[in-house]
Each structure stands twice: as C-alpha cells, then as structure tokens.
Structure 1
C-alpha cells in the first residue's frame, strides 16, 4: 500500500508540471485556435534563463524563477505580435508551420548560447523528507504547492477580473467579443504572454530535479498536446485534470508494468478516453 501511495505522490508532482504547461498551451488554443508547437521550447528557454540568473547573475531561487517568467511573458507577447498576428486570417496550417519554425529556432539558439551538454539547476530545497513512510524532497513539495497556487491564481484571474472574463469571451466567440468592443488582439497578446510565463514557471520548478538541455521541450509538448486532447481542446479545467490523470497513469503504470512502457501507457489512455468521449472530458471553455 505504501508503494502505491508513493507512486501516486510521484504522479501528483509530475502532474503539477504537466498541468501548468498544458494550461498555458490551452489558453493560446482557446483564444486563437493555434496549436503552438513552440510551447515546449518556451518551457526550455525558461529553464535556461532561470539557470543563468541563478548561476551567473547570482539571483536567489524565487526571484530568478519570477524574473524568468516575466522575460518569457515578453517573449510570448513578441511571438504573438511578430509571428502569429500576421497569420491570423491565413489558413491554420500556416500558423502551425510558423510555430514549428519558432521551435527549431529556439532549440538552435539555446544550443548556440548554452551548448548541447546537460546542465543541472541548483536549488535551496534539497532536503529529503520522510512522512508516514513516504519519501518526498522539499523541491517536489514546492512543485505541488507552487503549481496549485499558480493554477488557483489563474482561476481567480479568469473568473473575477475584467481581463480574464474578456479572455473567456474571446475563447467562446471571437467575432461576438469583437462586436461588443473587446480588444481581441490585446487579449491574444495577453494569452501568449500568460502561456509563456506558465511554461517558464513549470520549467523553473522541475529543473532542479531534472536535467536541462536544448531538446527538453520535445517530450513535454507531446504530453501537453495529449493532455489538452484528453481534457477537451480549449478547456483550462480539462488541461489541469488531464495533466494529473496522465501523470498518475504514467507513474502507476510504470511502477506496476515497466518504466519502458510509460509513454505507451500514457497514449493508450488517450485513445481509451477519446473512444468514450471524442470531445475530451470537458467541453471547450477557457
């Protein structure tokens, strides 16, 4: 029983990261209907910037993570303005190709600046805790608590602020929102900025227990797309629930079957859920 509880705990840690990344991805899809394949590489860039601020600029951990999120929000806004806004009325495939181009550019840029080698991020939360027979590091505890706080703040933003409700309106009906005076282009800019900031925070949280390297965003973006399909395209609650469901399936399946089949188990779950609910677990609603 303790073994199962440990795997559930590990799944909750991983699910917190998956949910943060997928939530950012689904914000952009909900508002602009763009599948942003570069989202995983914004996550990677956030990890590298946090590492740079920690090691070279001598920031402490939380200021470095928050500063990296601010920088990435600017990068996300710039991408929306320079790359995706001109393609707003083009075929969706053009935006998809553009996002792949951005993905390749960011990976090459990271390799040019920081090199291809694996790097590790230092953390002030290195102690290992033992609670009721379960083992958890302080960093894992920080991941779960910080991710839940971020998602809670995002919920409050979407439900209880004018900008958040405007974002929901644009996601539900862009043309209708424009007719009632909502500045849809600014909302799209905000969605990209928030999306990139969430990806950066997720990377800053997980990097101390995972290695940092230029291609680290590839598997994350594959999982994030699986999650938003499971949860329902464009649904933030769906992205959060889907992230935890997928991570728990990976953790428990890997423990009881084999870690070699973790990814197979995850995508088998995707097929199973879609065979029962083709639109995902939640209806589309940011």
Structure 2
C-alpha cells in the first residue's frame, strides 16, 4: 500500500506539470485554432531564465520563478505580435511552420547563451518530508500543491471574472466575440501571456527534480499535445484531467511494468480513448 501511494504521489507530480503545460497550450489553441509547437520552447526558456536568475543574479527560488513567468509571458506576447499576428489571415499550415521556427530559434538561442550542457537547478525544498507514513521529496510536494493551486486559480479566473469570460467567448466564436465589442488583440495577448507564464512556472517547478537543457521541452510538449487531444481540443477541464490521467498512467505503468515503456503509455492511452471517444473526453463547446 505504501508503494501504491508513492506511485500515486509520483503520478500527481508528473500529471501536475503536464496539466500546467497543457493548459497554456489549450488556451492558445482555443484562440488560434492552431497547435502552438513553440510552447515547448517557452517551457525550456522558463527553466533557463529561472536558472540564470538564481545562479547569476543570486535571486531566491520564488523570485526566480516570478521573474521567469514574467519574462516568458513577454516572450510569448512578442511571438504573437511579431509572428502569429501577421499570419492571422494565412492558412493554418503557415502558423504551424512559424511555430516550429520559433521553437528552433529559441532552442538554438539557449544553446548559444548557456551552452549544450545539462544543468541542475537548486531548490530550497530538496529535503525529505514524512506524510502519512510516506517519505517524499519536498519539491515533489511543492509541485503537487502549486500545480493544483494554479489550476484552481485559472479555473476561477476563467469562470468568475469578466476578462475570463471574454477569453472563453473568443475561444468559442472569435467573429461573434468581435461583433459584441470584445477587443480581440487584447484578449489574444493576454492568452499568450498566461500561456507563457504557466509554461515557465511548470518548468521552474519540475527542473529541480529533472535537468535544464536546450531540448528539455520537446518531450513535455509532445505529451501536452497528447493531453489536449485526449481531453478535447480547446477544453480547459480536459487539459487538467488529461494531464492527470497521463501522469498516473506513466507512474503506475513504469512501476508495475517497465520504465522503458513509460513514454509509450501516453500514446497507447491516446489510441485507446480516441477509438472509443473520437472527440476526446471533454470536447470544448464551439471548438472547431
């Protein structure tokens, strides 16, 4: 039973990170209706900015996380203004190619600035804590707590505020939202900023138990795409539930079967669920 709960905690840890990344990805998809392949690079950039702020500037972990969130939010808004906005009337394929270009550009930039080596991010929560008879790393407990707190905060923001309602309206019907006076440019910039900030926070939370390197966002963004397809393209609840499902499946699958097949489990689940429910678990209303 103790081993079961240990894997449950691992699943919540991984699933929490995946859900945060998938949330940002699904918000952008709701506005653009185009997969943003650059989102993995925003995740990587968040980890590097936090790492740099801690090591070069001497900031503490939380200030570095805040700095990374702000920096990547600005980076995401710049990407929207300079790359995606000029392509707003172009075929969707152009957006996808541009997103891949941003991804490659940011990865190459990180390699030029920080090198291709793997880096270890320090954390003040590296010690072990006892909880219900289990021993867990403090950083893992922090990931679970912070991820769920952010998910709840984002849900409340989207459902209980006027600004959140405009984001949902834009995601459901961009033309209709513009007709009732919603500023499409302002909402799109806000969505990209939230998306970038979520990716940066997820990276800063997960980096201390992983590593920081230029290609670190590639596997995470691949899993995030699986999650938003699994949960329903453009669906916020689907991104959260899908992330937790993939996290649990990887944790328990890796423990009870083999860690060699851990990364395949997500794609196997995707095939099984979509064969039974092609629209995903929680299809978004008005999603294209």
Is the structural similarity TM-score above 0.5?
yes
1:25-78 alpha-carbon deviations (Å, 9 max, x no partner): 000001111200010110000000001111111111101101110111100111
Give the match for residue 107 of structure 1. 107
Q: Distance in 2 between matches of 1:53 and 1:45?
A: 12
Give the match for residue 235 of structure 1. 235
Unmatched tracts of structure 2, length 5 or more: none
1:280 lines up with 2:275 in the alignment: no
Alignment RMSD, CA only?
1.0
Q: Distance in 2 between matches of 1:119 and 1:56?
A: 13
Give the match for residue 195 of structure 1. 195
Give the match for residue 151 of structure 1. 151
Cα displacement (A) at 1:136: 1.0
Matches within 5 A, 1:51-62: 51-62=51-62
The 3-state SS of whatever aligns with 2:284 is coil
Matches within 5 A, 1:73-222: 73-222=73-222
Give the match for residue 26 of structure 1. 26
Q: Distance in 1 between matches of 2:194 and 2:216?
A: 21
Give the match for residue 71 of structure 2. 71
Cα displacement (A) at 1:200: 0.2
Q: Distance in 2 between matches of 1:114 and 1:283?
A: 40
Unmatched tracts of structure 1, length 5 or more: none
Q: Distance in 2 between matches of 1:43 and 1:135?
A: 29
Give the match for residue 7 of structure 1. 7
The 3-state SS of whatever aligns with 2:135 is strand
Q: Distance in 1 between matches of 2:27 and 2:206?
A: 21
Q: How many residues align?
A: 286
Query: Which segments of structure 1 move beyond 6 Å, counting only runs of 4 or more?
Result: none
The 3-state SS of whatever aligns with 1:158 is helix
Give the match for residue 264 of structure 1. 264
Q: Distance in 2 between matches of 1:88 and 1:281?
A: 29
Q: TM-score, normalised by structure 1?
A: 0.98
Q: Distance in 2 between matches of 1:276 and 1:250?
A: 21
Give the match for residue 248 of structure 1. 248
Q: Distance in 2 between matches of 1:92 and 1:7?
A: 40
Q: TM-score, normalised by structure 2?
A: 0.97
Q: Distance in 2 between matches of 1:31 and 1:158?
A: 14
